[in-house]
Structure 1
Amino acid sequence: MASSTQKNSPVKASVKEKVKSFPQKPGVYRFYDSNSLLYIGKAKNLRKRASSYFTKTIKEYKTAKLIDRVIDADFLITKNETEALLLEQNLIKSNQPRFNILLRDDKTFPYIEINEKHDYPQVLFKRTTKASKDLYGPFTSAKGTRVAISELQNIFKLRTCNDVFFSNRSRPCLQYQIGKCSAPCVGKISQSDYLEDIKNTKKVLKGNFLEIIKDLKSSMKKYSNQQAFEKAGEIKTRIEMLRRIEETQIIFSGGDQTKVLGMAAMEDDVSFVVIDIEKNAFSNIKRYSFKNQLGKSSDDLFEEFLSRLILANPKLKEIISIRENMRSPFFPHIKFTTPAHGNKKKWCEMADRNAREFLGLQLQKANKYLLSIDYLKNNMGLTDDINIVGFDVSGGVGDIQTVSCVYFNEQGPDKSKYRFFRVPNKHAESDISALAYGIEKYSKNNFDISVVLIDGGKTHLNSIKNSIDLEKVKFVSLGKGEKRKYGIENLFYDDHKVEFRKDDSMSKLFLDVRDEAHRFAVKNFRSIKRKNLTKHYLQDIKGVGPKTIDKIYKEFGSIEILAKINVEQFSQECGLSKSICKDIQMKVKDIYN
């Protein structure tokens, strides 16, 4: 049965197996626990790098602690290692995973730095592995970074010299003569005006073009009204330069509320990848898959998904995809872009590449269970579509006990049919009685069930079969095999025993159902234990808070007695409404009766 520890558990073994299926391509891998993203890393070879975490030679304390908590992993492929580094940095900034304290990589990337320690801050080109608030980027190339600095100099005339050079000037340098510096070193510009230029430079680097152009237009109008036409002309030139930068995306394109959409389809399997873009940088990537049961065309599928995406994101401004003819009269406020070149084209290529890879994994997963499905149909007399439900118990006698239920069809897990039950005290005498309670309660959902799989040996199987009667449902159990090693378990059904150590070709589905039930059990057991430490279970009822619970204990001294008194007495003595008293009684009876 499940426990709250994961070390050397089936869950850890299943993650180890999962990373073995990662592609041997560059990209980013992500490790998760039950509640959050733990770690993001990049790799030249995703399979090789991710698998290295699950060897027996891990010596670093931090890495060992990370792997002890990992219960799931996924990946995102990129075109090369450079793109992987960019994506890793941006995902870490957006998600701030617990184990990513620093980007521990010996490769650096170009940034623009504004050094504000000086009274007249300088703009610098800088390579580093660590991002900070004074850095803007990263940029995809050193050349592009230097072009950006040069453009900023043309517009705002900022200094790029070092502090020693600055402090020893008695006359302006060549940069002033060619119009690239305002010569603050010799007092050609006031400190307040220079700092205003620095402020506007930051806005440009953050992509706030509309805001800065609006401010500059206001200043230009003011100088024009004062007949300071030379000054107004300088500002007009700045505005024209800013517009050129914005249009050519030399620095940042300001991609708030922008999504890049990629799609891949084969027969009735479809996958979509959505990349979120913020200020010209990746902030997140999401993947979706579903079955094309109605045999719709690719265009119809794309249009349907597009509509759902827009409706789910009301603030969306732009959708970028390599597919043409995306425009829809139903969404006039959305800008649909089909890029021919540049960064947007690269984003589209990355989205489509990940969609194809994700589709390949889905097809691989579907084929993964073919031998298991054939075995069930040939040996257990099952003829219809196979739907298997796995059960597992967390907790022990005398503690909170919970039952997790996971549902698999021939394609894999169907999480919409997962369920989780807290076991009442009268059914918590043993793991078997808790399992029986969970199976009976789950069966009331009226889902199609072909097979019930429990985690345990033949004794567990016989006890469950004798206590529960489900028509047309086969009961099987998965017990530990020789030396309790993962992958060589024994499958029990009727009077049969199948040893996976002799033939594991049909073991995949059974092991995955058992492991997923265990993972789901551990996740929910931990969650309910945390709640139990800080919150009374009656607080799950609407309208019941700490004061109401305090009042009940003062009047009756115990919660258990509420299961035995009538609602009227309960309501009168505690001064509560009858409807709340009924809800409380139902909850208490579920545990104590």
Structure 2
Amino acid sequence: MTQQDSVKFDANDFLKHAPLMPGVYMMRDINHDVIYVGKAKNLKNRLSSYFKTKQLPPKTQALVANIASIETTITTTEREALLLESNLIKEYRPRYNVRLIDDKSYPYIYVSDHPFPRFSFYRGARKRKGRMFGPFPSSGAVRETLNLMAKVFRIRECEDSFFSHRTRPCLQYQIQRCSGPCVDKISRKEYLETVDEAMLFLRGDSQKLVDLLIAKMTLYSQDLQFEKAGEIRDQIQYIREIQGSNMMEENRDSLDIHALYTSAEIVNVEVMMIRDGRVLGTRAYFPKVPKDTPNEEIMSAFIMQYYGEHRQPPRNIIINTELSKEEETWLLLALSQSVDYQVQLQYPQNIRGRKRQWLNLVESNARHSVEIKLASRAQVEDRLFSLNTILGFEKNIQRIECFDISHSFGERTVASNVVYTPEGFTKKFYRRFNIEGVTAGDDYEAMRQVLTRRFKGKDPAQDPQGFPDLLLIDGGKGQLQVAIEVLDALGLSALPLMSISEGEGKVRGKDIIWMRDKAPLPLDSSSPAFHLLTQIRDEAHRFAIEGHRTRRDKMRRRSVLEDIPGIGETRRTALLTHFGGLESLKNAAVSDIAKVPGISQKLAEVVYQGLRDIN
């Protein structure tokens, strides 16, 4: 259902037809962009509050002033409305909603979708089939947990390719850190039961797990299978040792603590994860929040977006911002129905002892994180102001781009492009360019290629937000001259340009900053502007080296067998498995190579000759 008026939104006409049912509403501006998504038990009553109430908060007044149309979607239940609202916020990212910045780079434990699931460390977009547990506050917490999993449950951690080609147990089985499913040392049914038990452990349900294992041990004892009963007894004992070694005042809680802290328009929600009394660490989140948004709305929206498909809520969640009864009911209904247990919200006035101490700690961390961000912002503004003053720019610098080239003796050349804004280093704009078709080690031509690729066909007037106010090149007069030639050829002579080169002896603080007229910029090495330029240059250098090393190492890890015609992944795996590695394959005779399943005499000769041609 939609109501739109390109001149002025007619609220009275719209409300006459608004449904009296639960659902979600989307507000759009005159450009048809979604500016707000909300939910309601009764859509008509909720939407009426925007237009029938005279005393609206400043944020709501700004929202209403920009409404050109409203669309409603009816849902059968309140939970459906809550979930739809969350999905629409993630999809459209409306400017008047609280938006949790994606944390896909945080580490998880990944349980693969495999007949014999693998537990492994994972970081990245969560699009794989299987289960994710996390995110964990640090990679160390993930690795520590995986280490415990291997000791307690003997779940495999090996790659699928390794698993599928084993003919005898590996070392992990010998030292009792894997149950050997690859060589049928355990049945699939038993292995999957163990996987379920391990997932109970990951969810923090250790006591439920222990009760399950005790019942299992009893059954084995009754069936006179004392060896298996003994294994489970040792497993129970180890789990209890883990509980005991990590307990604080014998606390076995599994909970999350969310502490909201705001200052100078910076909003931080600090989250602490505790599983079975083990504090896994804290993580600061800085969601995008419209001005004048109430704390209750921030906390509710954050929690709903924080828990989702790949992050299950624990049984208890402590928050330092009290929600209305209606909002709390909505939230708990949605969270509890996503798991097989009842989720509880707790407030500061209802907790004491260790929980209270944990909350105090999280609130302290939240405040400290905001203070660091404020200090960093002030420093950025000071440095940009200093540089702006020295260069005499009429407008404040909003974007600086820096380019650098990295290679090893001309091998796998990579160019970096880093961006600095009033928010500091803005990594979402970073880019790398693989340099091809230039003479190895020719930094000038590499710089020419990357600048041409970056700016060709770009018009500053049509792309003011994505165009630099200042272009910085890592290099001396030679690189600067190349940049001048490229910009002049592209009609961008007006773009402010400078380069920065290391001084004599490469001494820190002796760097020379060259202007477009190739005259050094007289900057004191202690000035904020000098620190800013060298910091940006160092970041571009780091980013270029990182990209080059990744590209070089990827090429070096590439099997030489990939360059031999007729050898695909299956035959390559068969050859390496048969000979136990590339070195043994290189030393093998043609007759030996032909004995590998799938390798004919003719193909064996091709492999034999191919390995020698490559060497």
- With the shorter chain as reference, the TM-score category is 0.3 to 0.5
TM-score, with length taken from structure 1: 0.48
* Greater RCO (Cα-Cα under 8 Å, separation 6 or more): 1
